[in-house]
Structure 1
Amino acid sequence: MPRNKLSKNKKGSVIVSLLITNIVALILIGLEFGYYDFGPYFIGVVSFKHALKGFLRTEIILGDGFLILFNGYVIIWNLFLKNKEKSAENKRATKHTKHKK
């Protein structure tokens, strides 16, 4: 298989796994804070408006924070650190072949 087809498939799988991770994480964040924000509403301690306001605030702050930090990490790793790792491997491989000659 040509090298560029492999790299395209790998990039596609990174994007798909990143999307799945984002969706699952946002669902889990929503479930957890839905429980803590709407729990008092179901008991009758706070109003629905107050529970919804608290839920949306925590969902925006924690959900957006997660998306920015996690996706930023994945993008930086794929763009910069992965290339640095590959160049280090290439240097080791060329050094090893020079010693064989």
Structure 2
Amino acid sequence: MTPIHADRITVNVLGRDCTLEIDGISPLDAPGLTSLIEKKAEEIRKEFGVHDTLTLMRMLLVLLAADIHQLNEKMENFNRIEEKSLDSMIVALDTALGTQKP
């Protein structure tokens, strides 16, 4: 079986083209990625008054990493809540069916 390889995409970030291969990301996703990055960069420009490209990129990396971290935390919390909910449903189903273990 031949492994599926990532598509090559090119995005323009802060006026510079960047070509990458990212698993799960297609060329159709490139405009959305570019838009997300440019939006975050504009937020940094407005909030911090940063216009130097290198400083902007560094701040952008840190803030995007923080966003990813927060999303991972939310996902972990959701998974824990979902697991507890499923456990409760299993107990309720076992009780209703009379198959609950003592």
Give the structure-1-normalised TM-score.
0.47
More strand by share: 2
More helix by share: 1
Give the structure-2-normalised TM-score.
0.47
Q: Which has the higher contact order (CA 8 A, sep 6+)?
A: 1
